[in-house]
Amino acid sequence: MMREFNTLEVAVEENIAVITINRPKFLNALNTEVLRELAEAADIIDADSSIRAVILTGSGEKAFVAGADIVEMQNKNVLEGREFSSLGNKAFSKIENLKIPVIAAVNGFALGGGCELTMACDIRIASNKAKFGQPEIGLGIMPGFGGSQRLPRLVGKGIAKEILFTGEIINAERAYEIGLVNRIVDATELLVEAKKIAQTIASKSPLGVSFTKKAVNEGTNLDLERAVSLEVELFGSLFSTKDQKEGMSAFLEKRQAAFKGE
Ligand code: DAK
């Protein structure tokens, strides 16, 4: 059972979890409590094998997440800054490394830590009102939740550097054009569309999906030869699973597969 959170709403419908960051008055800015609760929600979801996909979104009409909480950060000393950083990185890496896919449904501003949070997710869907940017350089800092690393991996170094050095806020069309988001949908259709993608994923083999996620995430940090060996290993080990037997039997028997993730 999901516990109650102060800064998140977590709803599980059938086998899809929807996490809504819920501080709309502060444009869902990431403070210590949000980061702690996100890490905790990720742990709970990861331990629940009935959940097959996660949607992450922001509360209200205006923002996904307008960055790390500037009010909280303003007076931090080095030690507190380090603590905040380690908490944030822990939360982000838990989200990135969840066994199941995470879809960011970006409903508004995704700035700084908010943009970085979308990049720790597997798939990004933007509403036509979404806006992205890394404005840290205007605050005398630089991206601290992986933005200088994940953005160039997603959109290429040149475009990433332009966004990182200028702090320019880009709209959904530009984000789509550079490959930062997978698709743009009308704001009213955002969650419907995210759920459709989540349901499609949920209908496939959970082990196949999770091994594929691992292959992509870990493989992109390796040279091609090692990355292909990783794929060989993961591919091979799927042949010890019931999902593989079921998937192939179902195809040959011309019926829908019923995967159990075993
Ligand atoms: N933190 C705290 N409060 C925020 C906030 C934020 N990031 N963003 C907005 N708010 C608050 C506003 O102060 C305002 O509060 P009140 O005045 O009503 O009390 C309320 O939310 C509504 O915002 P606005 O009145 O400003 O709304 P506008 O429509 O006029 O403007 C905006 C919307 C999104 C353009 C604007 O709010 C804005 O520029 N917000 C700041 C965006 C920003 O610079 N975000 C990046 C923060 S830097 C680290 C790792 C990572 C990071 C830091 C450290 N470590 C490893 C240690 C990440 C840093 C960042 O994310």
Question: What are φ and ψ of residue 110, in 5° steps?
Answer: -125, 90
Query: How long, in residues, is the chain?
Result: 262
Do 197 and 240 belong to one domain? Answer: no
Residues of the chain with pLDDT under 70: 1
- Distance (angstroms) between ligand 1 centre and the Cα of 211 equals 37
Task: Enumerate the active-site residues.
Answer: 116, 136
Q: Is residue 1 part of a domain?
A: no
21's CB contacts (< 8 A; 6+ apart) are: 7, 8, 28, 30, 34, 38, 56, 57, 58, 59, 64, 65
Q: 35 in ligand 1 pocket by Cβ < 6 Å?
A: no
Q: 139 in ligand 1 pocket by Cβ < 6 Å?
A: yes
Closest CA to 16 of 100, 94, 87, 93: 100
Atom 4 in ligand 1: residue holding the nearest Cα: 26
Inter-CA distances, 176 with 104, 131, 146, 170, Å: 14, 11, 20, 10
Residue span of the structural domain in which 126 resides: 8-202
- Distance (angstroms) between ligand 1 centre and the Cα of 129 equals 17
Ligand 1 atom with the smallest distance to the CA of 169 is 35
The rounded distance, in Å, linking the Cα atoms of 145 and 7 is 19
- Distance (angstroms) between ligand 1 centre and the Cα of 150 equals 21
pLDDT tens digits for 93-151? 999 999 999 999 999 999 999 999 999 999 999 999 999 999 999 999 999 999 999 99
Atom 11 in ligand 1: residue holding the nearest Cα: 26
Token pair 């054009």 in the structure block, residue: 177
Q: Is residue 180 part of a domain?
A: yes
Rounded to two decimals, the pTM is 0.96
Question: What are φ and ψ of residue 200, in 5° steps?
Answer: -60, -45
Do 114 and 228 belong to one domain? Answer: no
Q: 108 in ligand 1 pocket by Cβ < 6 Å?
A: no
Q: Is residue 257 part of a domain?
A: no
- Distance (angstroms) between ligand 1 centre and the Cα of 237 equals 46
pLDDT of residue 194: 98
Token pair 């475009």 in the structure block, residue: 159
From 27, 38, 73, give the residue whose CB has the most ligand 1 atoms within 8 Å, as the site to mutate.
27
Q: 81 in ligand 1 pocket by Cβ < 6 Å?
A: yes
- Distance (angstroms) between ligand 1 centre and the Cα of 30 equals 9
Atom 37 in ligand 1: residue holding the nearest Cα: 66
Question: Contact at 8 Å (CB) between 109 and 64?
Answer: yes
Query: End of a domain among 161, 181, 202?
Result: 202
**Distance from chain centroid for Cα 149:** 15
CATH number, domain with residue 57? 3.90.226.10
pLDDT of residue 1: 58
pLDDT of residue 85: 87
Do 105 and 213 belong to one domain? Answer: no
Token pair 């332009």 in the structure block, residue: 162
Do 26 and 49 belong to one domain? Answer: yes
Do 16 and 134 belong to one domain? Answer: yes
From 21, 34, 70, give the residue whose CB has the most ligand 1 atoms within 8 Å, as the site to mutate.
70
DSSP string, the chain: -PPP-SSEEEEEETTEEEEEE--GGGTT-B-HHHHHHHHHHHHHHHT-TT--EEEEEESSSSEEE-SB-HHHHTT--HHHHHHHHHHHHHHHHHHHT-SS-EEEEE-SEEETHHHHHHHHSSEEEEETT-EEE-GGGGGT----SSHHHHHHHHH-HHHHHHHHHH---EEHHHHHHTTSSSEEE-GGGHHHHHHHHHHHHHTS-HHHHHHHHHHHHHHTTS-HHHHHHHHHHHHHHGGGSHHHHHHHHHHHTTS-------
Do 163 and 222 belong to one domain? Answer: no
Ligand 1 atom with the smallest distance to the CA of 26 is 21
